[in-house]
Amino acid sequence: MEVVYACCAGLDVHKATVVACVRVPGPRPGERRGETKTFATTTGGLAELGDWLRGHGVTEVAMESTGVYWRPVYAGLETRVRVMLVNARHVKMVPGRKTEPHRVSRRARYVRTATAPEATWRS
């Protein structure tokens, strides 16, 4: 798949935490580097998440819009990055491993290759 966004992230939102995975270019051409970190869903935790994402040069983020937990995370990030709300069904169609530990990495891959319909972007 063609890389559309070089620096991007995927989020797995829970009631008390947000797990974020950034995908950025590695030291060699064509290489990718990923880093995963967990943040609180408090106002301070979301501010820290936004700073961490911007520190990695991330401008696009993907997260599932299931339930209601995504809403405060979206509100906390919307002024810092472009947020893509994705349908879980679409994410499952992205090639690769589908196990729980890889969910955020799959979301980052999803946004990196822009395989989501443009209508899912909220900005």
Q: Where are the domains of the chain?
A: 8-117
CATH label, 8-117, candidates 2.30.30.180, 3.30.70.1710, 3.30.420.10, 1.10.357.10: 3.30.420.10
109 versus 29: the higher-pLDDT residue is 29
Report how far apart, in Å, the C-alpha atoms of 42 and of each of 15, 25, 87, 94 are.
Answer: 10, 30, 24, 31
Q: Kindly state the tokens that stand for 90.
A: 């679409």
Q: pLDDT by residue (tens digit) across 10-64?
A: 888 889 999 998 888 888 887 878 889 999 999 999 999 999 999 999 988 888 7
Condensed to tens digits (0 to 9), the pLDDT of residues 53-108 reads 999 999 888 887 778 888 999 999 988 898 888 776 665 665 555 444 455 555 55
Distances (CA, A) of 96 to 1, 47, 81, 99, 103: 12, 31, 26, 9, 10
